[in-house]
Amino acid sequence: MLSKIYLVVWGFCLFALTSSAQVVYYSADQFKILGKAVSDGTYKRLPDIMADKLRKPVRLLGNNSAGLSIRFRSNTTSVSVRWESLGNHRMNHMADVGVKGVDLYTLEDGHWRFVNSGRPVDKKTEARIISNMQPKEREYMLNLPLYDGIVSLEIGVDSLSSIGMPRVELPVCKDKIIMYGTSILQGACASRPGMAHTNIISRKMNREVINLGFSGNAFLDLEIASLMAQLDAGIFILDFVPNASPEQMEERMIPFYKILREKHPDTPVLFIEDPYFPTTFYDERISFEVKRKNATLNKIFQDMEAAGEQNIYLLHSDDLIGTDGEATVDGIHFSDLGMMRYADKVISVIYKLIDGK
């Protein structure tokens, strides 16, 4: 009988404590920001120092926060987020949560588990992501928007709780996975940020991934290769073929590669073919272009092998996103299903190339 009374009293006290707590917001830039090529405290993917060297579309897309996340810990019973979007963008083939929203994960037994999303309502949003949790310390990862930038970002927790830098160093930040590519790599058309394949790869491998996807603009800009070459890379993954023309590949693929290789003589470099999208089964022009681009990639790759280049690999696009036609939103850009299938294929190759370290 006494134990029952104790439980009731304890439960009442817990309710009283949590219900009386107010939400207190903390600027997210005081916590750990993952996914940035250069740590400068901003939510941009490319540093301002590169601005004058980049084509305007690449510079503007670099302001998008695709692949960035905030790592923190707290014993709060609720998590809220308050943020202002840079452009308040909308897209007709992608959910607003993926474009300019956020989503939250927590670490459970060494694995990341989805908690909930923060759904944007306007240029400025305040969202309660989760409530009524037990007040125990948890490790969190907040994924940022894929197709918009962040002007300001704050994380809200109970006033009676603590919040701070993570205690657990996951994802591992050494030997990063550096990925360069197109709109799909940037995150189109994941339903929420955590479902972009770069974020899936990061979670599943518990290793930091740098997302250098530039929608419609993966033209093998040598300035981006120079940035990539400065990073602590465990592997470079180059997925530019959906954007780059055969002529651009013939002109820039080897110079782009050589910039990476000069700084990283032994780091694996993985090239990926253009996927055979559902549209390629019916649109003969697109089908021809995909085949022509992949043929160009294969020819240059074979020439590199013949010239004695080591630690280069080519992932063919057969079954890269499945063969049932169900992996895209618009015949080209990946749905969550496509993102998962792609991530699983790439992960299996990464593990072989870096021994799962």
**Residue type present at position 146:** L
CB 193 within 8 A of CB 199: yes
Lowest mean pLDDT among 19-28, 61-70, 84-93, 103-112: 19-28
Task: Read off the pLDDT of residues 4-22 as tens digits, 9 standing for 90 and up.
Answer: 433 333 344 444 444 557 9
Give the C-alpha distances (Å, rounded to integers) separating 357 from 140, 204, 263, 311, 334.
Answer: 23, 13, 21, 17, 28
Structure tokens at 251: 């002109």
79 confidence band (pLDDT: 50, 70, 90): very high
pLDDT attached to residue 20: 56
The answer on pLDDT for 222 being more than 70 is: yes
The answer on pLDDT for 24 being more than 90 is: yes
The answer on pLDDT for 183 being more than 90 is: yes
281 confidence band (pLDDT: 50, 70, 90): very high
**Residue type present at position 40:** D
CATH topology of domain 21-164: Jelly Rolls (2.60.120)
Q: Report the Cα–Cα distance between both ends of the chain, in Å, rounded.
A: 54
Count CA within 13 A, CB hemisphere, residue 322: 17
Intervals of CATH 3.40.50.1110 along the chain: 172-354
Lowest mean pLDDT among 18-27, 118-127, 155-164: 18-27
pLDDT attached to residue 144: 98
Higher pLDDT, 333 or 12: 333
pLDDT attached to residue 154: 98
pLDDT, mean of residues 20-37: 93
Sequence-distant (≥ 6) Cβ neighbours of residue 188 within 8 angstroms:
91, 93, 94, 146, 147, 215, 329, 333, 334
Task: Read off the pLDDT of residues 232-277 as tens digits, 9 standing for 90 and up.
Answer: 999 999 999 999 999 999 999 999 999 999 999 999 999 999 999 9
Average pLDDT of the chain, as a whole number = 94
pLDDT, mean of residues 322-350: 97
Residue with tokens 């969550």: 336
How many degrees, rounded to 5, is the angle at CA 301 between CA 294 and CA 263? 125
pLDDT, mean of residues 284-288: 96
DSSP 3-state of 172: strand
pLDDT attached to residue 312: 98
CB 176 within 8 A of CB 207: yes
Tally of CB atoms within 10 A around 65: 30
Intervals of CATH 2.60.120.260 along the chain: 21-164
> How far is 246 from 53, CA to CA, in rounded Å?
24
pLDDT attached to residue 21: 74
Give the chain's length: 357
Sequence-distant (≥ 6) Cβ neighbours of residue 91 within 8 angstroms:
99, 147, 188, 189
Lowest mean pLDDT among 36-45, 226-235, 326-335: 36-45
Higher pLDDT, 318 or 162: 162
CB burial string 207-223: b at 16+ within 10 A, e below: bbbbbbbbbebbbbbee
pLDDT attached to residue 344: 98
Task: Judge: domain 172-354, CATH 3.40.50.1110.
Answer: yes
Query: How many percent of the chain have pLDDT more than 70?
Result: 94
